[in-house]
């Protein structure tokens, strides 16, 4: 996205939302741009969160991390099998989170896989993350590739959400567990309602997995046109690979 378009968005986003999340690609590849965007968000009383794989934080010194995080509300570090294959990787992950804890709130974006439901691993993993001082654990159901059957493990989620006020699930997980099915929900998901997605080309859709673009931003104020878009209700997730 053109930097002028990107950096001009907070001025107008403030009229339709109170929160912005920057995600992958990898925001830390463009630290100067993120720092300037986060400053503009702060100027307009917008919460600005970042989702990152955290790898570059391992190389950055404290001064660079502090500058990157100065105006962020939360940095969420992704955790999945691609990033944590063994205990050494797990310790690297926790060390990265520890470096960040001196600055904004730190969360974990935990991508669910079938191994997390073996021998109570999901509970043990979540316990350890909170014991290490993370502020939030956000459990995500995978899209675009097959995920595990979570319905038999509903009690895991009930237990964790009761034990930890800052254990959260994504909208898809919530719909699956609440409706107790993967499709034909009685109530629609949040597609285009409580959340919209803007990709790197300035194309706007109802969620980050959708390629059904409703709007193309040519200038920052175009984002206000989102209020006139009629997003259809979705009673199933077309991006869930099952």
- For residue 107, the cross-strand partners are 76, 136
Using CA atoms, how far apart are residues 100 and 69, in angstroms rounded to an integer? 8
pLDDT for position 86: 76
* Closest listed residue to residue 193, CA positions, set 237, 239, 164, 227: 227
Q: How many CB atoms lie within 10 A of CB 167?
A: 20
pLDDT at residue 62, as a whole number: 92
Do 123 and 157 form a contact (C-beta atoms < 8 A)? Answer: no
User: CA nearest 48: which of 61, 66, 35, 60?
Assistant: 35
- Within 10 Å of residue 11's Cβ, how many Cβ atoms? 16
Give 10-residue mean pLDDT values along the chain (242 residues): 94 96 93 97 97 94 94 95 78 92 93 93 95 96 91 97 97 96 94 93 94 96 95 94 75
Residue 105 φ/ψ, nearest 5 degrees? -65, 150
Category of 184 on φ-ψ map: left (φ > 0), alpha (ψ -120 to 50) or beta: left
CATH H-level, domain 3-186: superfamily: pyruvate-formate lyase- activating enzyme (3.80.30.10)
User: What pLDDT shows up at residue 135?
Assistant: 96
The helix or strand, by DSSP H or E, that contains position 65, with its residue range, turns out to be: helix 62-69
What 3-state class would DSSP assign to 157?
helix
Cα–Cα distance measured from residue 68 to residue 112, given in angstroms and rounded to the nearest whole number: 28
Q: What is the pLDDT of residue 87?
A: 67
pLDDT at res. 155? 96
- Helical packing angle, 154-163 and 171-179, nearest 10°: 120
**Helix, strand, coil distribution of the chain in percent, nearest 5:** 40, 15, 45
pLDDT of residue 146: 87
**pTM score, whole prediction:** 0.92
* Summary mean pLDDT of the chain: 94
What are the backbone dihedrals phi and psi of residue 53, each rounded to the nearest 5 degrees, phi first? Answer: -80, -15
Q: What is the pLDDT of residue 44?
A: 97
User: What ranges do the domains of the chain cover?
Assistant: 3-186, 188-235
**Rounded CA separation 5/219 (Å):** 6
């Amino acid at each position: 996205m053109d930097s002028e378009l990107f950096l001009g968005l907070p001025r107008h986003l403030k009229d339709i939302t109170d929160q912005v999340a920057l995600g992958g690609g990898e925001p830390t590849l463009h630290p100067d741009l993120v720092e300037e965007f986060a400053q503009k968000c702060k100027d307009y009383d917008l919460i600005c969160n970042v989702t990152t794989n955290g790898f570059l934080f391992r190389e950055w010194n404290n001064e660079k991390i502090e500058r990157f995080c100065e105006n962020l509300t939360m940095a969420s570090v992704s955790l999945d099998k691609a990033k944590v294959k063994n205990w050494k990787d797990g310790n690297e992950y926790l060390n990265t989170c520890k470096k960040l804890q001196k600055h904004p709130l730190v969360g974990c974006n935990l991508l669910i896989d079938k191994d997390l439901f073996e021998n109570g691993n999901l509970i043990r993993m979540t316990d350890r993350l909170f014991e290490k001082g993370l502020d939030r654990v956000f459990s995500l159901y995978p899209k675009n590739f097959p995920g595990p059957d979570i319905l038999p493990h509903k009690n895991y989620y009930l237990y964790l959400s009761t034990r930890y006020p800052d254990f959260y699930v994504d909208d898809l997980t919530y719909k699956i567990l609440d409706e107790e099915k993967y499709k034909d929900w009685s109530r629609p998901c949040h597609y285009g309602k409580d959340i919209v997605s803007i990709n790197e080309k300035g194309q706007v859709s109802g969620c980050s997995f959708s390629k059904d673009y409703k709007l193309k931003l040519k200038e920052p104020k175009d984002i206000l046109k989102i209020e006139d878009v009629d997003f259809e209700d979705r009673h199933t997730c077309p991006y869930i690979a099952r």
